[in-house]
Each structure stands twice: as structure tokens, then as C-alpha cells.
Structure 1
Amino acid sequence: MFEEAETGQEAVMPSNLIKDPDWWRGAVIYQIYPRSFNDTNGDGIGDLNGVTEKLDYIASLGVDAIWLSPFFTSPMDDFGYDVSDYEDVDPMFGTLADFDRMTAEAHKRGLKVVIDLVISHTSDQHPWFKESRSSKDNAKADWFVWADAKPDGTPPTNWLSIFGGPAWEWDSRRCQYYMHNFLASQPDLNFHNAEVQDAVLKAAQFWLDRGVDGFRLDTVNFYFHDADLRDNPPLSADEMPSTVDPTNPYGFQDHVYDKTRPENLVFLEKLRRLLDKYPGTTSVGEIGADGQAVELTASYTEADKRIHMAYSFDLLTPQHSAAYIRRIVEEMNAGIGSGWASWALSNHDVKRVGSRWGEGLDTRKFAPLGAALCASLRGTPCVYQGEELGLTQADVPFEKLQDPYGIRFWPEYKGRDGCRTPMPWVKDNAHAGFSDTDPWLPVAPEHREQAALEQDKDAGSILNRNRAFYAWRQNVTPLKKGDMTFLESPGETLVFTRAHQGETILCAFNLGQSHETITLNGLELEDLKAPGFTGTAQGTTLSLNGLDAVFAKVVS
């Protein structure tokens, strides 16, 4: 499927030439969750050969790079985010040879390859941890965060795990607690130990030597903990950000001691020096820190010093009014300094944007609008697999849940499985063309109607509208690298300019469902006829239907 002869779509060659070390600045990154993308060996789980098989499809989207969620050797307690070997491929995904072939084929199509680097913690099955827990005086005894119990036997601090309960697990071998920010089977590495830093940098170098173009850095602000093991203070009710989940007590603390420590900046400088030895590589960090996103993005992505870009969860929330989006983006633009943001509306950890923001709306209108908005903000947009099809959140019944996070907090929180269900490739197939056997998660019945091959046949589909927009965007440099300024606009509209090297583009989005006419005094506009949208710009006036957009060149 999706060879050029079958789709009628010629692959768009992205403009991420290796001669441009800043190719990542404003590039469109397509996130692949390999388990759910395409299964070629019939075990119900996607694999690296499945990615290779769909590279023509990915290239046809007009994106610049792929980001692969983890495929390393793992017991899969957290589906690859618990690594037991940093320098090999888990057999369920294939082999190192399969990875090399996929990378080579991606590069032939002009696609960069970014992989997830999960180094804040390992699996408890990693040889490093097995040795560390064997005694208090072995060579790796201090490679993980170990601490004695308090005199009453309780954990050393009040730190909590994101996945529920204390962030400490008692180990009967050492008769000590070890720290875990996530599952108890995901012990945290001790970055205060220089040998640990060297070991994870060696793992990064292994993949750089294999030709990867960069890393997505999982939980990039979780690497260091407070060496003095001080308790986190509580947050008062008026201090808690609106993103706090009331079903999970993790959000009740101010996490000043278990993450986001100042030592992190020094390590990120070491990582950047390694990346700089491989010209054209990049890095994007995941920052999990309520209320500090701007400050941390600015410091973590300071130009030429630490990582290249970072994203937070500020647009991965239920809030989506025009006023909210404008506030979040303006605060980032004002505070980021020389740094660079990355933006996403969906990923493998949150409810799909088609349901979070698009509930009750016409998906055929909302999905292309959301994609274009994300790709027009100052920063680098990430598109999560299936987002280009307008997929909504799947409802996975409890008996078929796989996510330990969802199982623990069910039914108030249903976990992450609903955004991880298999990619639908064809409509009339038992498993939507994803696999020849029962997949690890069920295919959502409603996703069949949105299958990629079905949409490929329809010139006006969400898929083809997104393809057309990304292809058009490739030649509009201000949308990739330009500065950004918001203009006043009514209702649920967002109007802003992107300016780069003397060229200014105006972008206008109507997130509401009513028609809006906007007059911009002092600006003369030339409509750019962006594909897929019916809004118009004439003189100083914008005309926007509900869930529509317009792009115009500012001529005076």
C-alpha cells in the first residue's frame, strides 16, 4: 500500500537539506508509535519494517522528519519507556539491521530520523540495575538513587510517583529504598554519578554513529534529584495549575526537589557538545513542569548551548479557547529568549486533540484547522500518527486496557491506550490493514471510516487537505523561522503575523463556528490562497467562516 502508483500522490521531498544545520527550526516532525503503526510479521504489534513499508506514505505528507517512540530492548512494562538495553532493538520490533535499513530508506526520501532517548530511568531488568541492587558495594552500587528508610521504616522523602503512590520502592536485597518517578519497575538513574552520565552519553553516541539525526529526550527535566533528599512542599489550592489531575495526588506537591534541578543544565551542555560533533543533528526535550514551561524552555534551549528545542504540555490540555492559546503562545514567545519551542496538539500520552478540542465539531473542518494552526506557530510542530487523518480518541474497554497508568486510575482516568490504538490503513479489513491477526489494542470501529487509503481516494479529505497544506508551507519560510506577533481580533479568532527577512505573512484562524469579518487598519493584504481553506483576505479585511483560516502576504 501507499506506493506512488497506488496512491496517485508523489512523495513531497522535504526541504531539510543537510547543508542547513538549522533544518529542525520550523520543520514538521511526524511522531510514530511503532507498536501501533504497521505490523509486518503478523504478531499484532507494529515493527520497524512496518515503518519502512510506509515511508512513501509519510513522505507524501510533506513532513521533514520522523520521531520514533522507543523500540529498544525492554520488558515492556511501560511499552518501551523501560529500557533494558540501550544499544539494541527489541525482537518484537525487529533487528539493528532492520533499523539501519529503515534509516537509509528514510534518508533516501529526504526524511530525518529522530529517536526517543529515555535516560532518566531504566528497566529493573537492565544489567546496570541488576548489578546495582546486588549489594551496597558493587561497581554500580551508586548508579541508581538508593536511600535508607526513615527510622520508622517509611520512605526517605515524601516524593510521589506520577503513576501513583510513593516514588520509592523497598528492595529486600540491599534493605534500602530506590527511587522511581514512574513505575516501580523503572528505577531512576543517579545522574550525580559521572559514570552514569558517561554511560548514557555512550548510548546516545551509539545511535548517532548509526546515522540518526537526533533525539527526542523523554522527561528531560527529570534527570537529577536533590542530593540532600529534601521533602517537596505542598501546593496551596490557588497555586495548583489548571492542568492538575484531581484523581492523582502527584499534582498536590511543588516538585522542587525530585526534578528540575540546576545540575541538569550542566549535563545538557555535555549532551549538546556530543551532538555538535555530528553536524545537522538535533534534540527536542519533553518538559514536564506545570507553571515553569516558559522558564525551562528558555534555559534548556538557550541557543547553541544546550538542547535545540523543547515542548511542554500547555497545548496538550482540555483548554483551547482562542484567549488561552494566545496567552500560552505569547508567554512563550516573550520569555524564550534565544531558545526555540516545539508545539504539539496530540501525542502518545494524551487524549487525541480531535476529542479534546474537537468534540461536537465537524471533524472534516476542525482537524485541518488544528493542524494548520500548530504548524503556523513560532516553533517546530509535531504531528502524531493518525492526526493527519483526524482520528479521535478511541474508547478502550477496561478488560482490554494495557496501560498500567490507566488500569490504576480507572474509571476516572482511562489511561493512554485510547490514543495508542492501531493506525487504520484500510476500511474493509478485519484489523484495518494494521495486522493480519488480533492487534495488541483493538482497532476503533469509527477509525475505519477515516482509514488512510479511504481518505487517499478523496481529494477533499482531511488527509489530502493536510498534505496540501504541509506541501504549501514548505515554500513559506516565515512560517518556519519567522518572528511572531499577535494582532487584536474578536471572538474565537486568532490573528498573528510571522516575519522573516523582510517578508511578513498574516495568519488568521477562526476557532468558532460563526462567520467573522475582521478589519485590520493599517495593513494591506494579498491573499495567498492557502490550500484547503476558504477564508479570504482583501485589502484590509479578512472574511472567515467558522472553523476556517486564511493566510495573506502583508504588502504594506
Structure 2
Amino acid sequence: MRCILKVALASLCLLITSSAMSQQPFKPVPEWLSKAVFYQVYPQSFKDTDGDGIGDINGIVQQLDYIKWLGCNTIWLNPCFESAFQDAGYDVIDFYKVAKRYGTNDDLVRLFREAHKRKMRVCIDLVAGHTSIESPWFKESQKRERNEYSDRYIWTPDSTIKPEKHVSGKFERNGTYRKNFFDCQPALNYGFGEPDPACPWEQPTSAEGPTKTRQELMRIMDYWMDKGCDGFRVDLASSLVKKDPNLVETNKLWAEVRTHFQNRYPEGILLAEWGNPMKAIKAGFMMDFIIQFGGSGYNELFFNKEGVFRRDTCYFSLEGNGSPKKFIDNIRKQLDSVGANGYVCIPTANHDFQRPRSGSRNTDEQLKCVMAFLFTMPGVPLVYYGDEIGMRYISGLPNKEGSVVTRGNRAGSRTPMQWSRATNAGFSTAPPEMLYLPIDTLANFPTVEAQRNDQNSLLSFTRSMLKLRAKYPALASRGNLEFLTTQEKAYPLVYTRGKDGHRFLVIVNPTGKPQSITISNTIKVKKFEAVLNQNTSLKIENGNFEIKADATSYGVYRLMK
């Protein structure tokens, strides 16, 4: 009876804690995020200015005007700190020091300053969950004598004890350490949500080691914010606290971080790599990404037979045999849950999965359908560097800095930004030491230089879509979304966006065949005008919308009663 009572009380405490955390009052999200348009810069591949074949911070500064011209006002910069580069910078040695190959701390501060001069902002990637095995913290942690860092990582008390995800090695201390991803990435100790008393290495989040780790995380954030940073994208944000199935301790952690962060930096932003906005925003983040994991439906929209994550069918294909249902169900659920407390973001791609131009999706017409869709979706838009000119995911590249994972090779999405053929795509060293493919293979690829003054180019189209979204608030981050496409008739994709009495209808047909659909005009629209139209038609007849869309076509119509 005593055991039953103990379990019941524990369950009640958990329920009360969970309820309290769900009602955590946060200060409002900074207003500027509602108008943010992100551009993700992968620093080693963006722009080389010192001739070593590796992109650098000065190269980013040089191209700020281009990024602003495109229509983006916020940069997300992948990790640029001192690293062993066994996972492309996600294995950090020193969180307080810029990697030498990118420049100096002063260069990063200059990037913040130059961005601010242009009314732009810069967010940096924060690898919160682990360090490099070469980190001084880890080297101290593995010593036999107890010290400041002994409990900053998760160690078993004996080398014969090797639970899942633990790594053996030749260490001074007798034990194995827990990794986060690769063996070279030992997990920092934020504690366990449900520690097992039989496993003494599973410390509660209130223990000294996890407490100091949490304090160090906030110290790192303060350091860069004080130097002019505008916020952070937190890598693997849901995974810091281990064995936390109900996210009680995870939510406590991020609530503490957000409160501290906003008290000191009210205009700063916190973005999560969580893959589930409804959970991330509840935890305290201001934006999260709908990407390749978490059953988001993103894969079913875009991933075809080539890339890191490969599928036999996807919605955005000429074959027209995909389904948007999984994405539609998820985006509805996410938007309803997040409400006005934060934002979703559906990026064009990122450094971990294939670009839109992959496999048989290889023409500007197909890519314009993708861009028309992404930039008329609610949430904060994000352009992954090079997607605006149709850079291609390239298969068959060698493993570079840990680019190969179980599912495929991420190097194909990390190739040099194609600025100009005359300057070897902006990278002066040939062959480059650190880049992901020989420069001469880029000879026939699209470049910024070739597309910038071509009104029919993908670059010009991307820019025009971002202008359109900025012009009409109903097409922007907060507008309502309603899909009119039915499960029985998946093509073309038809949906409306609305805000403050203004409403737009969007048509996208990514297939290689003409498509048509009849939809009841339940919103009683009487008039409309096309604000963007590539081979689609809209008629209102007999109380219905009569929609026709040629192959690889798209249209945006303003509806009026």
C-alpha cells in the first residue's frame, strides 16, 4: 500500500509540475521576428577572401549587401568556433573563440556591426549539448583526480560499464563517457529527467555538475550577445536532458534560459532545432523548424530518389504521384498549437539534407514551384545559401569533415557558393584543400553573376517572391492558412492565406501534366485579381472555383467579395 501511495504522489507531483511548466509566462517574442527573412550561411562554403580555399567571416561581410538585396534581413550562421572539424564545426573545442580558418573574434564582431548598419541581424549556431573530445573541458573531465569538470560530462564509474551510447577509451579515470552523435562528441551533463538510482552516473538536473553546465551555457550566450549577436539557433535543443520522456526537466531548463536571456536581451531571439514547433515553443523557444524529422511531412513533399534522405515518391515531382496529406495535417496542428506564442519556419533546405534541386527536380520551372509554395506559407521564411540560384545537391562526393551519416552524404548540400565562373565561384584556391568538390566541376553550374540581371532567372524569382510576401501581410508569417486541396484530388495544391479581412488563393502544380479542380466557393468570393501567375487560371462559376493549372505552374490571386 505504501508503494502504491508513493507512486500516486509521484504521479501527482509530475502532473502539477507539467501543468505549471505548460503555463510558464514568457515575455513576448521580439516584434522584429515577425518580419524576419532568414538566410542560412554555411561559413566554410560561402565566400573565401584570403585564398586558402575556405570561406571566412570577411567573405560574409563582403556579401551582406547581396543578402539584403535578395530580400533577407537575418542571417543564421552555422558554427564558426574553434573546432576539431570532425563534424564540420559541430564538435566545438572553445565556445569563446572563432576558428582561425574563419578569422578572429574581432571579425565576428565586425560582422555583427556591419549587419546592424544595414538594419540586418545575425544569429549564431549554439551547439549546446556536447563539445569536441579535444575540448579542454573534456580533457580535464577524463582525469583521475576530481576537478571542476569531472561531472560536466556523463561518465560511468567503471570502464566495464558501457550503457547505450557510451564510448570506451584510454582515459585516466576509470569509466566510459556518453556521446551525443559521433564518438568525438561527448555529451555535456545537463542531468537526467528520470535518473535511475541503480545508475549513479544518471544525476538529477539539480546536481552540481548539471547546474554548472547550465550556468556555463548562459555564460556563453551572454558573452556573444554582449558583443552584438542577435540570438541563437540551438542545435538538437530537445536532447540536452537525458531520459526525460515527458520533457518536464527539459522545459524547466529552457524556461530558465529564456527568462535569463530576455531579462538581459529583450530583443534577442532563441531558435530551436527541435523539429516540433508545438513542443519547442512551449519549452521557451521563439521559432522552430519543420524539417526532415519528427514526422513533419517535409520529406513527403520534397525528398526524391537522390540525396541524404531518399524516397521513391514525393509531392513536388513531375510524376504527380505524391501526397501532401502528412504535411497538411502536421502544419495545421503546429500552427494551431503555436498560435501567437512563436513561429514555425519551413526552410528551402539546410546543411543536413538535400537541396530542392536534386534528382529529377532539376529545372528552374520546377524550382519556381517549390519557391512559390514555400514563400506563401505562414511562418518565417529561410533561404539556404545557394538555393536562390538553384544550386544542386551533388551525389558521390567524398566524406568531408564528418559529412557521411547513416542515411547518406551531407557533403552534396555543402558545396561552394557559386558566385562567378570568372573567380572560380568565389574560391581562389584550386584545388581547394577543404572544400567539398573540385572547383572545375562547377563550370556549367548556375551562378549569381549570370542570374542577377536576368529577370527570368530563379534568383530574380526568389527575390520577387520575397517582395510579394513583404507587400501583402496576408501572405506573411502570421496570416491564416486553409488548404482546399482534397485527399482524393491531390493536384494542384490549392490553399488560401488570410489576415485582417484580406485573402489570397494560391495554386501550385509541380507535376509535368496539366491539372484541374473544382472547389466550392464557400467564402463567397465575387472578384479576384492575379498578383502572380505562371500558366494558371481561376474562374468563379455556379458557386465554385474552377481552377486549371498547366504543367509546373503556380499562381497567387487576391480575392475580393
The answer to whether the Cα contact below 8 Å between 1:114 and 1:215 also exists between their aligned partners in 2 is: yes
Number of residue pairs matched?
A: 478
Distance change (3 Å), C-alpha of 1:113 and 1:534: farther
Aligned position for 1:199: 216
Alpha-carbon distance between aligned partners in 1 of 2:527 and 2:390, rounded to the nearest angstrom? 30
Aligned position for 2:42: 33
Aligned position for 2:237: 220
Alpha-carbon distance between aligned partners in 1 of 2:281 and 2:349, rounded to the nearest angstrom? 22
Aligned position for 1:52: 61
Aligned position for 2:389: 389
For 1:69, which of 73, 78, 98 is the aligned residue? 78
Cα offsets for 1:232-257 (capped at 9, x unmatched):
xxxxxxxxxxxxxxxxxxxxxxxx77
For 2:325, which of 314, 323, 326 is the aligned residue? 323
Alpha-carbon distance between aligned partners in 2 of 1:325 and 1:549, rounded to the nearest angstrom? 19
Distance change (3 Å), C-alpha of 1:147 and 1:110: same
The 3-state SS of whatever aligns with 2:176 is strand
Distance change (3 Å), C-alpha of 1:308 and 1:279: same
For 1:456, which of 439, 452, 455 is the aligned residue? 452
Aligned position for 1:181: 180
1:340 CA drift (Å) = 2.8
Distance change (3 Å), C-alpha of 1:324 and 1:147: same
For 1:111, which of 120, 144, 147 is the aligned residue? 120
For 2:418, which of 424, 437, 442 is the aligned residue? 424
Q: CA RMSD in A?
A: 2.5
Cα offsets for 1:111-142 (capped at 9, x unmatched):
22111011100112222212111135212210
For 2:255, which of 247, 256, 269 is the aligned residue? 269
Cα offsets for 1:15-63 (capped at 9, x unmatched):
xxxx992222363211000000000001110000000111111111111
1:528 CA drift (Å) = 5.1
The 3-state SS of whatever aligns with 1:376 is coil
Aligned position for 2:482: 485
The 3-state SS of whatever aligns with 1:80 is coil
Aligned position for 2:5: none
Cα offsets for 1:301-340 (capped at 9, x unmatched):
03xx601011242325624333343233234334445553
Cα offsets for 1:90-116 (capped at 9, x unmatched):
111011221122122212222221110
The 3-state SS of whatever aligns with 2:39 is strand
1:449 CA drift (Å) = 2.9
Gaps of 5+ in 1: 1-18, 160-166, 227-255
The answer to whether the Cα contact below 8 Å between 1:131 and 1:138 also exists between their aligned partners in 2 is: yes
The answer to whether the Cα contact below 8 Å between 1:26 and 1:479 also exists between their aligned partners in 2 is: no
Aligned position for 2:272: 285
Where do residues 305-316 of structure 1 align in structure 2 (5 Å cutoff)? Answer: 306-311=284-289, 312-313=291-292, 314=296, 315-316=298-299
1:512 CA drift (Å) = 1.7
Superposition TM-score, scaled by structure 2 size? 0.79
The answer to whether the Cα contact below 8 Å between 2:492 and 2:517 also exists between their aligned partners in 1 is: no
Alpha-carbon distance between aligned partners in 1 of 2:509 and 2:443, rounded to the nearest angstrom? 26
The answer to whether the Cα contact below 8 Å between 1:301 and 1:339 also exists between their aligned partners in 2 is: yes
1:392 CA drift (Å) = 1.6
Alpha-carbon distance between aligned partners in 2 of 1:444 and 1:518, rounded to the nearest angstrom? 46
Higher radius of gyration, 1 or 2 = 2
Distance change (3 Å), C-alpha of 1:334 and 1:512: farther
1:268 CA drift (Å) = 0.7
Alpha-carbon distance between aligned partners in 2 of 1:546 and 1:447, rounded to the nearest angstrom? 30
Cα offsets for 1:490-528 (capped at 9, x unmatched):
332222222222222222211222222333332426555
Distance change (3 Å), C-alpha of 1:299 and 1:379: same
The 3-state SS of whatever aligns with 1:514 is coil
Name the aligned partner's letter for residue 342 of structure 1.
Answer: C
Name the aligned partner's letter for residue 487 of structure 1.
Answer: L
Aligned position for 1:434: 427
Alpha-carbon distance between aligned partners in 2 of 1:555 and 1:444, rounded to the nearest angstrom? 52
The answer to whether the Cα contact below 8 Å between 1:367 and 1:390 also exists between their aligned partners in 2 is: yes
The 3-state SS of whatever aligns with 1:467 is helix
The answer to whether the Cα contact below 8 Å between 1:86 and 1:203 also exists between their aligned partners in 2 is: yes
47-56 vs 432-441, which moves further: 432-441
The 3-state SS of whatever aligns with 2:381 is strand
For 1:158, which of 154, 158, 164 is the aligned residue? 164
The 3-state SS of whatever aligns with 1:84 is strand
Alpha-carbon distance between aligned partners in 2 of 1:41 and 1:446, rounded to the nearest angstrom? 20
1:261 CA drift (Å) = 4.3
Alpha-carbon distance between aligned partners in 2 of 1:450 and 1:104, rounded to the nearest angstrom? 31
Name the aligned partner's letter for residue 375 of structure 2.
Answer: A
Aligned position for 2:6: none
The answer to whether the Cα contact below 8 Å between 2:29 and 2:286 also exists between their aligned partners in 1 is: no
Alpha-carbon distance between aligned partners in 1 of 2:559 and 2:364, rounded to the nearest angstrom? 29
The 3-state SS of whatever aligns with 1:459 is coil
The 3-state SS of whatever aligns with 2:517 is strand
Alpha-carbon distance between aligned partners in 1 of 2:252 and 2:526, rounded to the nearest angstrom? 47
Name the aligned partner's letter for residue 249 of structure 2.
Answer: E
The answer to whether the Cα contact below 8 Å between 1:26 and 1:379 also exists between their aligned partners in 2 is: no
1:436 CA drift (Å) = 3.6
Where do residues 460-475 of structure 1 align in structure 2 (5 Å cutoff)? Answer: 460-475=456-471
Alpha-carbon distance between aligned partners in 2 of 1:526 and 1:517, rounded to the nearest angstrom? 20
Gaps of 5+ in 2: 1-27, 192-209, 304-313, 316-321
Alpha-carbon distance between aligned partners in 1 of 2:473 and 2:122, rounded to the nearest angstrom? 22
The 3-state SS of whatever aligns with 1:272 is helix
The 3-state SS of whatever aligns with 1:158 is coil
100-109 vs 172-181, which moves further: 100-109
The answer to whether the Cα contact below 8 Å between 1:113 and 1:213 also exists between their aligned partners in 2 is: yes
Alpha-carbon distance between aligned partners in 1 of 2:533 and 2:86, rounded to the nearest angstrom? 42
Cα offsets for 1:445-469 (capped at 9, x unmatched):
3574311101113210111111111
Name the aligned partner's letter for residue 412 of structure 2.
Answer: G
Alpha-carbon distance between aligned partners in 1 of 2:38 and 2:512, rounded to the nearest angstrom? 29
Alpha-carbon distance between aligned partners in 1 of 2:547 and 2:117, rounded to the nearest angstrom? 41
Distance change (3 Å), C-alpha of 1:300 and 1:393: same
Distance change (3 Å), C-alpha of 1:183 and 1:169: farther
Name the aligned partner's letter for residue 524 of structure 1.
Answer: V
Alpha-carbon distance between aligned partners in 1 of 2:526 and 2:363, rounded to the nearest angstrom? 29
1:342 aligns with 2:348: no
Superposition TM-score, scaled by structure 1 size? 0.80
Name the aligned partner's letter for residue 410 of structure 2.
Answer: R
Cα offsets for 1:172-196 (capped at 9, x unmatched):
2112011112122211100131111
The answer to whether the Cα contact below 8 Å between 2:375 and 2:465 also exists between their aligned partners in 1 is: no
Distance change (3 Å), C-alpha of 1:553 and 1:432: same
Distance change (3 Å), C-alpha of 1:213 and 1:542: farther
Alpha-carbon distance between aligned partners in 2 of 1:171 and 1:420, rounded to the nearest angstrom? 34
Alpha-carbon distance between aligned partners in 2 of 1:525 and 1:444, rounded to the nearest angstrom? 56
Alpha-carbon distance between aligned partners in 1 of 2:35 and 2:505, rounded to the nearest angstrom? 17
Aligned position for 2:365: 365
Identity across aligned pairs (percent)? 28
The answer to whether the Cα contact below 8 Å between 1:525 and 1:538 also exists between their aligned partners in 2 is: no
Distance change (3 Å), C-alpha of 1:548 and 1:537: same
The answer to whether the Cα contact below 8 Å between 1:424 and 1:447 also exists between their aligned partners in 2 is: no
Name the aligned partner's letter for residue 330 of structure 1.
Answer: R
